[in-house]
Structure 1
Amino acid sequence: MTTHRVPAPQPPADSTKVSGPASYFPSIERTYGRPVQEWLDLVADRLDDHRHMEVVSWLKEEHGLGHGHANALVGYVRRALDG
């Protein structure tokens, strides 16, 4: 079993609307064809020695993410790591 520093959130069991950065996650998976957990793992590792906007820029330049998607991933991971 793989342990993730920041696990992806589980989708709500009912029709509850997700808000905040996680509301972008279904669109991120559809748009870029990778599970959100892969993006969260990449971001968590990158945040060890880079600032928020540096990681956002890296996601945009190296992986082709849009600004909103990149910022949502970084914000979600930062919030989870900061506790």
Structure 2
Amino acid sequence: MSTEQKVMGPASYFPSIEKKYGRPIAEWQQLITDSPLTRHMELVSWLKSEYGLGHGHANALVAHTLATAAK
């Protein structure tokens, strides 16, 4: 029996994001935090256009980063 918990929600995308785009999640989160943009979909569109992220990956990064910042 495994003692690891299955990661749920936006963070479940993190391993594939790191593998596909070659940057650690902390770096993506810092880019989002440093951006002058503040709205969810603005940030998603920006990540897609500037960094070539797919919609699901950009959405997961933004959702997790904004939720963590709100705590």
Q: TM-score, normalised by structure 2?
A: 0.89
Instruction: Determine what percentage of the aligned residue pairs are the same residue.
Output: 59
Matches of 1:26 and 1:66, distance apart in 2: 14
Higher percent of residues as helix: 2
For the Cα contact (< 8 Å) 2:10–2:61, is it kept in 1?
yes
Matches of 2:37 and 2:13, distance apart in 1: 25
Q: Over aligned residues, Cα RMSD in angstroms?
A: 1.2
1:58 paired residue number:
46
Matches of 1:49 and 1:25, distance apart in 2: 22
Q: TM-score, normalised by structure 1?
A: 0.77
**Which ranges of structure 2 fall in alignment gaps of 5 or more residues?**
none
Q: How does 1:1-80 map onto structure 2 within 5 Å?
A: 14-46=3-35, 48-80=36-68
Instruction: After superposition, give the CA deviation of every residue in 1:16-68 in whole Å (9 maximum; x if it has no partner).
Output: 1100111110000000011111001101122x543110010000000000000
The residue identity in structure 1 corresponding to 2:50 is E
**Which ranges of structure 1 fall in alignment gaps of 5 or more residues?**
1-13
The residue identity in structure 1 corresponding to 2:29 is L
